[in-house]
């Protein structure tokens, strides 16, 4: 391994299932070391993780990086969005964190929307209409179901905030991640006192919002991580904002991320406010905006269908009559938090491979339905759609996105874009550069481009028709026990 040309930085991706760490040469973008460690998520009605697992996984991932982590001059943490971390006066978790894909707070989301001026109020105030994934609805759920936990809470954090605070000893967050809480006003870029008062959350329990490019702190003593004392710590951000940094995304370029959840987003210079709730008006980590639509069911749901059918995930077959809506965890786009999976059009001659293709079609359909809403009106639809995430390298995913979007698709060769975006943010602390410009200098978006194919309007219309007709059934709560 050749010597690094510039200072080393660490980018962290603390995701739903695992924590990854990359040690990156800030001059060239070359990954000089990496590590990864898993954490667990509860099953059943909720989705929870003990935040201490994230810290332990971070330590293990960094130890796998060896001496390179010790030599790093700066670190940044990208993390899963929306999670509710409640800490006591000693900084220990009061209870496991409620994760983004815990949708038990759907009734609270509806109630909060109604009680505070309706969807238009929320969209104009926070940029987004509350959904069951948002932190504010989880806090309302906790207050209703576990009031003793609320009384014991002395600090409220997001997942990436928790790790940053354990590194620095300072309670900080950033505009990108805090914009997904539901209690940060996007118009004023400050905590919304009316919303906080309504849900009974003291703003003193919340972290300071660090500015883009600001140093959040330095790595403190008294930990067992392989960092040198005084290593700079960046504000970090949410995973989607970090991936946008990692790609160096410019305004107007659409990104589709295929992971446990699916997302479509684009950088915009206009503050979004969609009262329909389809598009979340998130901030990015730089000072612009990141209108985003998210689905709860993407690669994990399709892989589950493949497992049930006894098929490899690539074993799809073309079919024209069957529709499968893979809403295995409820759904956020469309907003159907009580939904379960739905199969329609099954015949004697339907094959397992056609059922699997229908699962892919159903997952991609939801994302494409929001794509035009995410993009500004003057965006060029002939520009390639950037396809990232764990599913992006799967042939079945690539072909389904091409067929249903009718757009060219580019698959960046760079892996671990959330961690790379965090690394770019850390590098920006050292060089004074815009982190997105750092990523463009590293050429992280380079990768093969697949030409556009004719859009499959027939399949899109069939799925839309089934979704419309089945709406009452999909809105009906199902027994999860």
- Residue 481: the pLDDT is 45
- Residue 433: the pLDDT is 95
**What HEC string does the chain produce?**
CCCCCCCEEEEEEECCCEEEEEEEECCCCCEEEEEEEECCCCCCCCCEECHHHHHHHHHHHHHHHCHHHHHCCEEEEEECCCCEEEECCCCCECCCEECCCCCCCHHHHHHHHHHCCHHHHHHHHHCCCCCCCCHHHHHHHHHHHCHHHHHHCCEEECHHHHHHHHHHCCCEEEHHHHCCCCCEECCCCEECHHHHHHHCCCHHHCCEEECCCCCCEECCCCCCCCCCCCCEECCCEEHHHHHHHHHCCCCCCCEEEECCCEEEECCECCCCCCCCCCCEEEECCCCCEEEEEEECCCHHHHHHHHHHHCCCCCCCCCCCCCEEECCECEECCCCECCCCCEEECCCCCCCHHHHHHHHHHHHHHHHHHHHHHHCCCCCCCCCCEEEECCCCCCHHHHHHHHHHHCCCEECCCCCCHHHHHHHHHHHHHHHCCCHHHHHHHHCCCCCCEECCCCCCHHHHHHHHHHHHHCHHHHCCCCCCC
Task: Give yes or no: 239 in active site.
Answer: yes
- Residue 479: the pLDDT is 62
- Residue 1: the pLDDT is 41
Q: Which one is catalytic: 13, 102, 192, 239?
A: 239
- Residue 224: the pLDDT is 82
The per-residue pLDDT string of the chain (481 residues; one tens digit each, 9 = 90 and over) reads 446 777 999 999 999 999 999 999 999 999 999 999 999 999 888 999 999 999 999 999 999 999 999 999 999 999 999 999 999 999 999 999 999 989 899 999 999 999 999 999 999 999 999 989 999 999 999 999 999 999 999 999 999 999 999 999 999 999 999 999 999 999 999 999 999 999 999 999 999 999 999 999 999 987 789 998 889 999 999 999 999 999 999 888 899 999 888 989 999 999 999 898 889 999 999 999 999 998 889 999 999 999 999 999 999 999 879 999 999 989 888 888 889 999 999 999 999 999 999 999 999 998 998 887 888 776 777 889 999 988 999 999 999 999 999 999 999 999 899 999 999 999 999 999 999 999 999 999 999 999 999 999 999 999 999 999 999 999 887 665 4
């Amino acid at each position: 391994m050749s010597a690094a040309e510039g200072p080393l930085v660490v980018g962290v991706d603390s995701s739903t299932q695992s924590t990854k760490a990359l040690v990156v040469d800030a001059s060239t973008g070359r990954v000089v070391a990496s590590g990864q460690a898993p954490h667990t998520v509860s099953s059943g009605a909720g989705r929870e993780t003990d935040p201490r697992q994230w810290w332990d996984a971070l330590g293990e991932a960094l130890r796998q990086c060896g001496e390179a982590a010790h030599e790093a001059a700066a670190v940044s943490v990208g993390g899963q969005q929306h999670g509710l971390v409640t800490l006591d006066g000693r900084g220990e978790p009061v209870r496991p964190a409620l994760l983004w894909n815990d949708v038990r707070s759907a009734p609270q989301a509806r109630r909060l929307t109604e009680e505070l001026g309706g969807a238009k109020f929320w969209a104009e105030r926070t940029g987004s209409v509350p959904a069951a994934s948002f932190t504010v609805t989880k806090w309302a759920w906790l207050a209703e179901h576990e009031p003793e936990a609320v009384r014991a809470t002395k600090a409220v954090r997001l997942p990436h905030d928790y790790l940053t605070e354990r590194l620095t000893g300072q309670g900080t967050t950033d505009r990108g991640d805090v914009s997904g809480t539901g209690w940060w006003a996007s118009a004023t870029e400050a905590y919304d006192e009316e919303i906080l008062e309504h849900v009974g959350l003291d703003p003193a329990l919340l972290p300071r919002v660090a500015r883009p490019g600001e140093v959040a702190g330095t790595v403190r003593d008294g930990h067992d991580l392989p960092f040198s004392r005084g290593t700079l710590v960046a504000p970090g951000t949410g995973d989607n904002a970090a991936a946008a940094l990692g790609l160096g995304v410019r305004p107007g370029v659409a990104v589709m991320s295929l992971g446990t959840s699916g997302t479509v987003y684009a950088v915009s210079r206009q503050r979004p406010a969609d009262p329909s709730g389809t598009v979340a008006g998130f901030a990015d980590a730089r000072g612009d905006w990141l209108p985003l639509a998210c689905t709860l069911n993407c690669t994990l749901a399709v892989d589950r269908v493949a497992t049930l059918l006894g098929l490899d995930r690539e074993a799809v077959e073309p079919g024209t009559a069957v529709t499968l809506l893979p809403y295995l965890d409820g759904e956020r786009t469309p907003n159907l938090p009580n939904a379960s999976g739905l199969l329609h059009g099954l015949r004697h001659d339907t094959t397992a491979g056609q059922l699997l293709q229908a699962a892919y079609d159903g997952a991609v359909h939801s994302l494409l339905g929001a794509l035009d809403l995410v993009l500004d009106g003057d965006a060029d639809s002939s520009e390639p759609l950037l396809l990232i995430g764990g599913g992006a390298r799967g042939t079945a995913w690539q072909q389904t996105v091409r067929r249903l979007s009718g757009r060219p698709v580019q698959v960046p060769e760079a892996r671990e874009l959330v961690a790379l975006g965090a690394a770019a943010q850390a590098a920006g602390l050292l060089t004074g550069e815009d982190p997105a410009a750092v990523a463009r200098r590293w050429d992280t978006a380079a990768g093969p481009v697949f030409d556009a194919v004719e859009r499959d309007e027939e399949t899109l219309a069939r799925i839309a028709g089934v979704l419309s007709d089945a709406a009452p059934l999909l809105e009906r709560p199902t027994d999860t026990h």
